[in-house]
Amino acid sequence: MTLLRLSADIAVELAVARNTERQNLATYREQVKKRIKDEVDAAVTTASFLWDNHYGDVTEQEVRQKVARLLESLHRSDVGYYFGADYGGVSTVGPAKGQNMLAVRDKNGVFVVQELIKTAQGGGGFVEYVMPPIDGYEQAPKISYVLPFAPFGWYIGAGVSLTEIESIEREVARTTRKRFITITLANALLAGVLLGALTLINRLLYRRVGEEILSIEGYLSRTAFREEDIRGEGFCITELGSIAEHSNRLVHALFSSMKELRQSRLRFETVVRALPDLVFMVDRQGRFLSYESVDNTKLLASPREFIGKTISDMFPPDISESSMARIEAAFGGGELTMLEYSLQMEGQQRWYEARFVPVDQTQLMIMVRDTTEISEIRRKNEYLSYHDQLTKLYNRRFFEEEMHRLDSVRHLPLSIVMIDVNGLKMINDAFGHAKGDELLTTVSDLLSAMCRSGEIIARTGGDEFVILLPSTPRASADAFIRRLYDFLEKQPKEEWITSISVGFDTKEDPEEPVESVYAQAEKNMYRRKLAESQSMRNQTVQVIMRTLNEKNRREKRHSERVSALCRRLGEALGMDYQAVRELETAGLLHDIGKIVVDEKLLNKAGPLTEAEYDEVKKHPEISYQILRAVDTYATIAEDILSHHERWDGTGYPRGLSGAQISLTARIIAVSDTYEAMTATRTYRQAQSHDTALEEIRKNAGTQFDPEIVKVFVAMDFSGLG
């Protein structure tokens, strides 16, 4: 009976193993699909991060190239490849990069790329397809997962050939069958051992069983001749049945345990293959018992070096102490605990996440995942959320949190210093935002050099900074501002003046709202700005002219002569004294915008190319942007903008004609041309006075105002130099 049950159990085991195998293979297929989906989710998240944090610094095309290079570098062993394309079908990432795949059909006539696009536009999902044979070779089925990437109008996906899944499935099946054969042989051996044990038991009990049988025969013989009650006779024949029954139960329990163990092991190995983790088994003392991973290159040392060693043997003290604390907590509470740590791996700082999961009362599983890329993105996001990207100072969000954190009695008196950079718009308009950013960076460096540890500096707006000075009375804050002004005064003067307006207020009463102190500091700052800003801008104009003259002595001479010619022509036209003075100033400043023109172009020994000439032609607009921000020069800014306009409307920058051009601009145009013709240039010799006048006379009515030309050619030029 026992042998029959054993055979039946083996048959049951075979059926259960095959069913389990099918279930595990299906589970593994779903795990691989989930892995593909997770990888695409991560890729789209990373691409979004690049877009959000680089757009505006570089061109969109450069951002696209960064994203494409990133995705092409993300190949994983269980993700066959990344791919991406726009909704027109042009591949941007992957094996078919640069090709339009919209018309490609699979083996069953399905338009593959169109199906991928439709799935992405619907929010994303899986697509399975079989490509046509290539060079006579049948192609394996493929499965892909796609998601839309709105900033570029792309879809991004990852795919894997199902042959990769099937080869893994075959390996799993092969291993399962191998293990089943091993178990079957073990069962057969066990059956032999049990049979031998039963035979031995039978022999040992045979004598007593025989005696029982003889006793029964004798008793039956006796009762054949007389009626005799058989009750009360003791028989031991049931002992053999009890032994057999007990043995059978032991066999069933053994088979059940072996089945559960085999299924648990198979599930564990399947999960490990699907995870990008290192998996260790340790005991309560932190000693490594076993190790599982699909990639040994992620290990700090080879697997054989771990087994038998403790965590303290393999890791630095801080990590091993934290790990042992997690192990104790996991065994004590029976729940998962986590630890984040970093290690130097091949000269690079790598970040890891370890999860501690108790298996039973003596063993614990540690799953370790490399989180370096995710950690880097998280740290950058955290940094950007509290820092200004340009100056690296704290931003408004951090400032407001700190202001309320420091709003307590123990930090009183609390001083708030408001700082505004004067002339930032003027610098941006005249020189471009790169120069404006340079000015802001200069100011932030100066503030950082002035402040001590514990004093919070933040950039709270385009040209505004705030400093929080905890435990700083009003007198100390005032002294700080004086030192700041003195420090700035000693800085070298370049193309612009580094000028700031500063205001402050101090909270001394615990009941006073800190927002009121901030508002008063801002009012005090704007009061100073009204008094200082125009003075700074005027100084900046003077510095720009001085810098231009130092860079190019010929431009200095040119501006001075044009100014003198404008004055003489204005007087000849009968203009009043004030108008002549403005005209003289306009002539002196008419080329101030050349400060941003490359000095090599100003001194080029030969005619300019078309591109170079276009660069030089920008100087009237730059001159206008510089001068219009200064009250002293605002009235002549428009005149200087128009001094290269022509009477016939073919000039620049706006193509004005005739009386649309201001009188001052028309006077500068004639004076500027005469001076340029009669001065020696790097690409030609100076022309004579008469030649220059003749050229101007010939262009009256086309380039120049004919009435002004009449007065100019009849003007007295003596003493002009």
C-alpha to C-alpha distance for 587 and 349, rounded to whole angstroms: 62
For residue 134, the model assigns a pLDDT of 63
74/149 same-domain check: yes
For residue 708, the model assigns a pLDDT of 95
Higher pLDDT, 417 or 259: 417
Structure tokens at 666: 């028309």
Q: Flag whether pLDDT at 418 surpasses 70.
A: yes
Q: Flag whether pLDDT at 211 surpasses 70.
A: no
Give first-to-last CA distance, the chain, whole Å.
Answer: 133
Higher pLDDT, 214 or 322: 322
For residue 682, the model assigns a pLDDT of 66
108/127 same-domain check: yes
Q: Flag whether pLDDT at 35 surpasses 70.
A: yes
For residue 661, the model assigns a pLDDT of 95
Q: How many CA atoms are closer than 13 Å to the CA of 616, on its beta-carbon side?
A: 14
C-alpha to C-alpha distance for 530 and 537, rounded to whole angstroms: 12
For residue 601, the model assigns a pLDDT of 80
C-alpha to C-alpha distance for 421 and 216, rounded to whole angstroms: 119
Tens of pLDDT, residue by residue over 517-562, are 999 999 999 888 876 777 767 777 777 777 777 677 788 888 889 9
315/366 same-domain check: yes
- Residue where a domain stops, chosen among 512, 542, 572: 542
Higher pLDDT, 720 or 322: 322
512/606 same-domain check: no
Mean pLDDT of 180-205: 62
For residue 702, the model assigns a pLDDT of 96
**CATH number for the domain that contains residue 337:** 3.30.450.20
For residue 137, the model assigns a pLDDT of 61
Looking at mean pLDDT, say which of 536-550, 583-597, 642-656 comes out highest: 642-656
Q: Flag whether pLDDT at 571 surpasses 80.
A: yes
Residue 477 host element (H or E)? helix 474-489
For residue 230, the model assigns a pLDDT of 43
With bands split at pLDDT 50, 70 and 90, how would you rate the model's confidence at 1?
very low
- Residue 257 in any domain: the answer is no
User: Which range marks the domain in which residue 441 is found?
Assistant: 415-542
With bands split at pLDDT 50, 70 and 90, how would you rate the model's confidence at 419?
very high
pTM assigned to the model: 0.49
- Residue where a domain stops, chosen among 113, 139, 165: 165
360/438 same-domain check: no
Tens of pLDDT, residue by residue over 248-266, are 565 566 556 666 656 655 5
- Residue where a domain stops, chosen among 106, 131, 165: 165
Q: Flag whether pLDDT at 679 surpasses 90.
A: no
**CATH number for the domain that contains residue 576:** 1.10.3210.10
With bands split at pLDDT 50, 70 and 90, how would you rate the model's confidence at 227?
very low
437/317 same-domain check: no
For residue 234, the model assigns a pLDDT of 44
For residue 482, the model assigns a pLDDT of 92
The answer to whether the peptide bond before residue 303 is cis (omega within 30 degrees of 0) is no
Residue labelled with tokens 């399975």:
128
Tens of pLDDT, residue by residue over 377-401, are 777 777 778 889 899 999 999 999 9
586/632 same-domain check: yes
The mean pLDDT value of the chain amounts to 78
Mean pLDDT of 458-470: 93
Range name among 258-267, 621-630, 708-717 with the lowest pLDDT average: 258-267
C-alpha to C-alpha distance for 163 and 183, rounded to whole angstroms: 29
For residue 509, the model assigns a pLDDT of 94
C-alpha dist (Å) from residue 161 to 77, 100, 140, 297, 629: 12, 22, 6, 25, 65
Q: Flag whether pLDDT at 236 surpasses 50.
A: no
Residue 506 host element (H or E)? strand 500-507
For residue 194, the model assigns a pLDDT of 62
Domain total for the chain?
A: 4
40/136 same-domain check: yes
Partners of residue 507 on adjacent β-strands: 414
Range name among 79-88, 154-163, 220-229, 502-511 with the lowest pLDDT average: 220-229
- Residue 232 in any domain: the answer is no
